[in-house]
A and B are shown apart, each in its own frame.
Chain A
Amino acid sequence: MALKASKLTVGDTHTARLVEDLKRTQLVQYAGASGDYNPLHTDEVFTTQVAGYPSVSAHGMLTMGMTGKMLTDYVGDARLTKYGVRFTSQVWPGDTLDSTATVKAITDKGGEKLVELDVKTVNQNGVEVLSGYAEARIDP
């Protein structure tokens, strides 16, 4: 299932739906697993009445984690060598996210083939919520 350099072309894309109608419970689930209990992600009372936001919002790292599934489903298990992102807009309960990896370059490093990917995740309004890159080992 690994990607092959011989079958990849710059500009190729892979898109996946990460989540549909994101639930607050998933934010609780992520808080528990990651250990990040910032009330901004799980405590509607604090977030609206004290912090001044309209609602709780997702951990940036949850969006990065969900986007990571799109990447590993595309490049295969244990193939990623780099993955980095900027969080460009907040993600809210109810959001539906789609993510795309675009082949930016195919490189050779010490006899090993690597693919460089641009990574972008958008919400249901087409607003970018995450922008980044990844690099993965691929077959020849």
Chain B
Amino acid sequence: MAAKTFPIEASHILMFARSVGDDNRVYADADYAKTTEAGGIIAPPTFPQAVAQFDPDYVLRPKPGKPWFGSGKNPSGVTREASGGGGGNGGGLHAEQHFEYHRHLRPGDVLTATTLPGKTWEKEGRRSGKLIFSETVTEYRDQGGELVITARGVGVRTERPVDQQ
């Protein structure tokens, strides 16, 4: 799969930390961050997920001139069969996420993310019919080519929406 370039920027870290309710100033205040063990602004642990912003083909972002499956005039902008990634009957859910930090990310880093396909397996689910799991491993290397983060995600597609019991 294609490698993606992921520039790590202070304003993006600030917004991401806010969105997870993390008011630690090490993510927001450069002067304060210098006085901490981190020695400067770092990114919160789950920040690598925001690489989605830099994936030109990311399916869960509306794109100009392209159909979008969310609601507008109608409950969905496309027919269910064509809705593709995410959501609903037969849709995809995030089952697991794992990170290994070889070092922590800093503004100014420019990462290259390389996603490798992983295993696929099936299981009979109690609340949603057959479950199809698929794993992806993403390696994030910095501008010097050093491996900084290894991420492993597991997605699951279900036969029907998960029963709410």
A residues whose Cβ falls under 8 Å from a Cβ of B: 2, 18-19, 26, 29-30, 32-40, 42-43, 45-47, 49-54, 59-62, 64-66, 68-69, 71-73, 76-87, 90
Contacts and interface: CB of A to CB of B under 8 A. Distances in A.
Nearest to A81: B101
A58 to B, nearest CB: 11
Given A46-B75, A61-B49, 6 more contacts: A46-B70, A50-B76, A51-B87, A69-B22, A79-B37, A84-B98
A96 to B, nearest CB: 13
B97 A64 contact: yes
Contact of B20 (A36, A47, A54, A66): A66
B88 A50 contact: yes
A59 B46 CA distance: 12
A52 B94 contact: no
Contacts, number: 168
Interface in B35-58: 36-38, 42, 44-46, 49-53, 55, 58
Interface residues of B, number: 55
A73 B22 CA distance: 10
A45 B46 contact: no
Interface of B: 12, 15-16, 18-22, 24, 26, 36-38, 42, 44-46, 49-53, 55, 58, 60-62, 69-71, 75-76, 80, 83, 85-89, 91, 93-101, 104, 152, 160-162, 164
A85 B26 CA distance: 24
A77 B38 contact: yes
A39 B44 contact: no
B76 A33 contact: no
B19 A37 contact: no
Chain A residues touching B, majority SS: mixed
Contact of A49 (B22, B37, B50, B75): B75
A111 B138 CA distance: 29
A35 to B, nearest CB: 4
30 contacts: A26-B19, A29-B18, A34-B16, A34-B49, A35-B51, A36-B52, A37-B70, A38-B60, A38-B87, A39-B86, A40-B91, A43-B70, A46-B75, A49-B76, A50-B71, A51-B87, A52-B160, A53-B164, A62-B20, A69-B21, A72-B22, A77-B24, A78-B104, A80-B104, A82-B99, A83-B98, A84-B97, A86-B96, A87-B93, A87-B96
